[in-house]
Structure formats: C-alpha cells, structure tokens
Amino acid sequence: MSEGLNASEIAGCLEMARPVLARYTAGEISAEVAIMRLLLALGGMTPLAECLAALARGAGDEPAIQELQRVMAAHQSTLAGAAELVEQGLARERAGTIAAIREQFDRAVAIAPEAAVALYSLGSAMTLDRATAELVARLDEWQLLGSDIAALDIGCGIGRLEAVLAPRLRAITGIDVSPRMIAEARRRCAGLGNVDFMVCDGTGLTAFAGRHYDLILAIDTFPYLVAADPALAETHIADATQLLPNGGSLAILNYSYRGDLDADRQAVSDLATRYGFAVTRNGTRDFTLWDGATFLLRRMG
C-alpha cells in the first residue's frame, strides 16, 4: 500500500461499508463473506485495508471488529490475488455472452484459482477447503450422496467438489465453460478413476443426452446464467429433467446475485412447476462460512 487515502476518502469508504457491516454485526454473514463484500464494494486492497484500520481505531474493542481484523491478518498472503480479481473486474457475474464469461474465468483462474472459484475464500486454499467440507456435510445431511450415485457438477471450476466427493459417489462428471478451469481441475484430480471433466458450451445440457445422473449440482453457477440470459437458466433446468430419474435431485446453490431472494424463490418455484420438479428447499440459508441460498429440487414422476 504505497499511498494512503485522505480523510474524506476514508469517510467515503466507511459509508460504503455500512450496509455490509450491518449484516455482519447482525450475524447474517461470516467475517470472510463480510471482507469479500467490502472488497467488492470498495474496489481494491488499499481502500479495504484502510477502511478496516479506521474501523479498528473507532471500535477496536468490539469482538466483531476484532474478528474482521483477525481474518484479514490470517489471509494477508492470499488476499492480494483476490483483490487483483476485483481490481481487474473479474470477480462479478456479468451480463453478456457465454464467451465473455469464459474469458472472465480463464483469466481469473490464472491469477488466483481459489478466489476465482469462491471469492469469499479470500484466495486461501484452507478457507475454500472449510467451505467445501461444510457443503459436503449438507449434501450428506440431505441424503444426496452414496456409493450408487452418479453426479453431474455444472460449473465445476477447479474440481474442488470432485476431489472430495469421488470417494463418496459411484461417479462424478464436472463441466465448465472455462478450458483453463477444466485443465486445473484435471490436474488437481489426476488419478481419480471415477471422475471425468468436460468443457461445455454453457447453453444447456443436451451434450449429455442419453446419460443418466442421480444428482445434478450447480454451485454458484446459475447466477452467471441468469446474468447472461435468464433463458439459459431455464434451459438447464429443462434439460435436467431428461438426465435425472424420478426422485433424482437438482441442487442449485444460489440462483442469482440480484439481491432479491424472494424473487429468486418465485423464479425457481415457477420453473420447478413448469418442468416437473418438487421444491424441497426454496432459498434456505444453510451455511455458516458462505452465505449461499439453497434451492433443492426433486424430479417427480
């Protein structure tokens, strides 16, 4: 941090941070997610660091602020990569073509693989592992895993789920629009015989016609489809009906990033009715580290 902010800039940072801090101090989001949201709101590492320093000066004895400082310090070595994604505009979903999304993730994974997959990891492999373990625990709790289950993971990124779920499933296929993500996933999952990866075109799942899966996962994938074109999200749900048996599950974790959970619940409910799914979890908050919303659909006969 070569050049500090002046007093008015720090005051501006604190004002921009206020909504995030309100959610954090109310216990709605974790410290990691709060720092991620502050980084996105403030736009870079310098304003983030100085904003947190100003907070510490004003309320340094408050446990919530101390926890933010602790998490910030713990991720100091990896935050630079996460901040670079934000500063280069590679950390947000963007409306536009699938080609633009592909380019975004190809560039992001080359800079900071863990942050490219989940910015709330703050670039830390250890934090991403914690979040992944909690996700797998919920999948287990919802009885979606088993040695007889074949899964399809839409938007698999660097293969973090495949590496953990391979011993828990009969087979898992990871797909992503980003060739560089898929290359990284193959490298990380080399030697896992029941895992395979494919680059997809992001327009739907017809390339998998004739295959059958018991579970389809979409972790932070639908927000990019919705941003590009809501019809793409609908197409993926429609195609899922052709790949899942009666009773098969489609787990969508985050439908959009538009900040209107009620609208997302209505959209998913409408699509589920249209394509023969029962909604068993409609926008529930089931995680402690991550603030993702769960939409769990089961295919009806």
Whether 160 and 288 map to the same domain: the answer is: yes
Whether 145 and 291 map to the same domain: the answer is: yes
Q: Last residue of some domain: 50, 74, 98?
A: 74
Question: Does some domain include residue 222?
Answer: yes
Count of domains forming the chain: 2
Q: Last residue of some domain: 52, 74, 96?
A: 74
Whether 30 and 141 map to the same domain: the answer is: no
The predicted structure's pLDDT at residue 3: 55
Whether 68 and 152 map to the same domain: the answer is: no
- Asked if residues 88 and 104 have their Cβ atoms less than 8 Å apart, the reply is no
Question: Does some domain include residue 47?
Answer: yes
Provide the 8-state DSSP code for 191. T
Question: Does some domain include residue 104?
Answer: no
Question: Does some domain include residue 97?
Answer: no
The predicted structure's pLDDT at residue 248: 98
Q: Along the 301 residues of the chain, how does pLDDT read in single tens digits?
A: 345 667 776 677 788 888 999 999 899 999 999 999 999 999 999 889 888 888 888 776 789 889 999 999 999 999 999 999 999 999 977 667 999 999 999 999 999 999 999 999 999 999 999 999 999 999 999 999 999 999 999 999 999 999 999 999 999 999 999 999 999 999 999 999 999 999 999 999 999 999 999 999 999 999 999 999 999 999 999 999 999 999 999 999 999 999 999 999 999 999 999 999 999 999 999 999 999 999 999 999 7
Phi and psi at 143, nearest 5°, equal: 60, 45
Question: Does some domain include residue 247?
Answer: yes
Question: Does some domain include residue 93?
Answer: no
Whether 162 and 264 map to the same domain: the answer is: yes
Can you tell me whether residue 291 is helix, strand or coil? coil
Whether 163 and 259 map to the same domain: the answer is: yes
Question: Does some domain include residue 87?
Answer: no
Whether 286 and 192 map to the same domain: the answer is: yes
Question: CA-based Rg of the chain, rounded to a whole angstrom?
Answer: 20
Whether 33 and 165 map to the same domain: the answer is: no
Phi and psi at 97, nearest 5°, equal: -80, 160
Per the structure, the complete domain to which residue 232 belongs is given by: 132-299
Question: Does some domain include residue 86?
Answer: no
CA distance 69 to 52: 7
Q: How many CA atoms lie within 13 A of 36 on its CB side?
A: 21
- Distances from the Cα of 51 to the Cαs of 13, 78, 80, in angstroms? 6, 19, 16
Tokens (6 digits) for 32: 């990691």
- Asked if residues 5 and 48 have their Cβ atoms less than 8 Å apart, the reply is no
Whether 23 and 162 map to the same domain: the answer is: no
Whether 146 and 64 map to the same domain: the answer is: no
The domain spanning residue 162 has which CATH number? 3.40.50.150
Whether 155 and 288 map to the same domain: the answer is: yes
Q: Last residue of some domain: 74, 102, 119?
A: 74
Tokens (6 digits) for 243: 């790949």
Whether 264 and 156 map to the same domain: the answer is: yes
The predicted structure's pLDDT at residue 56: 83
The kind and range of the H/E element at 82 are helix 76-87
